Structure 1
Amino acid sequence: MTVIDDWRAGRNRVIRRAAAVRSRGEGPQLTTVVLDLGGVVVPTLFEVVDEPGFPAGPFGDDPLYAGVEQGRLQERDYWAAVARCRPDLDIGRYMRTRLGVRAEIRTLLARIGGRVRVVALTNDMAHWFGADWATSLAELDRFDLLLEAATSGVLKPDPAVFRWALQLVGEPADRCLFVDDLPSNLRGAQAVGMAVEHFRVDDPAGSVRRVLDRLGIDGSEPHSRVYHPERP
Structure 2
Amino acid sequence: MGGLVVSENLRDVDAWLFDLGNVVIGINFEHALHHWARAADRDVGDLRQRFHFDEAYERHERGQIEAAQYFESLRSLLGLDLADEDLAAGWNAIYTGLIPEVVALLPAMARSRQLYAFTNTNVTHHRAWSAMYARQLQPFEHIFLSCSLGLRKPEAAAFEAIARQTGVPLDRMLFFDDTEENVLGARAAGMPAVWVHSPQDVIDAVVPYIGDEG
Give TM-score, length-normalised by structure 1: 0.62
Q: Of residues 56, 73, 85 in structure 1, which corresponds to 2:78?
A: 85
**Please, what is the CA RMSD of the aligned residues?**
3.9
The structure-2 alpha-carbon separation of the partners of 1:175 and 1:46, relative to structure 1 and needing over 3 Å to count, comes to same
Residues in 2 aligned to 1:198 and 1:82: alpha-carbon distance in whole angstroms: 33
- How far apart are residue 45 of structure 1 and its match? 1.0
What is the percentage of aligned positions where both structures have the same residue? 24
1:212 aligns with 2:206: yes
Residues in 2 aligned to 1:47 and 1:113: alpha-carbon distance in whole angstroms: 33
Query: For 2:200, what is the secondary structure of its paired residue?
Result: helix
The structure-2 alpha-carbon separation of the partners of 1:111 and 1:50, relative to structure 1 and needing over 3 Å to count, comes to farther
- How far apart are residue 31 of structure 1 and its match? 2.3
| 1:111 aligned residue | 108
Of the structure 1 ranges 43-52 and 167-176, higher mean CA displacement relative to structure 2 is found in 43-52
| 1:121 aligned residue | 118
Residues in 1 aligned to 2:170 and 2:146: alpha-carbon distance in whole angstroms: 17
Q: How does 1:1-232 map to 2 (within 5 A)?
A: 25-26=8-9, 29-46=12-29, 51=34, 53=44, 74=58, 84-85=77-78, 87=80, 92-97=88-93, 99=95, 100-130=97-127, 134-138=130-134, 139-200=136-197, 203=198, 205-213=199-207, 215-218=208-211, 220-221=212-213
Runs of 5+ in structure 1 lacking a partner? 1-20, 224-232
The superposition leaves residues 70-95 of structure 1 with CA deviations (integer Å, 9 ceiling, x where unpaired) of xxx84969x97699437499663244
The answer as to whether partners of 1:96 and 1:129 remain within 8 angstroms in 2 is no
Structure with higher RCO (Cα < 8 A, 6+ apart): 2
How many positions carry a matched residue from both structures?
Answer: 186
Residues in 2 aligned to 1:115 and 1:104: alpha-carbon distance in whole angstroms: 18
Give TM-score, length-normalised by structure 2: 0.66
* Bigger share in strand: 2
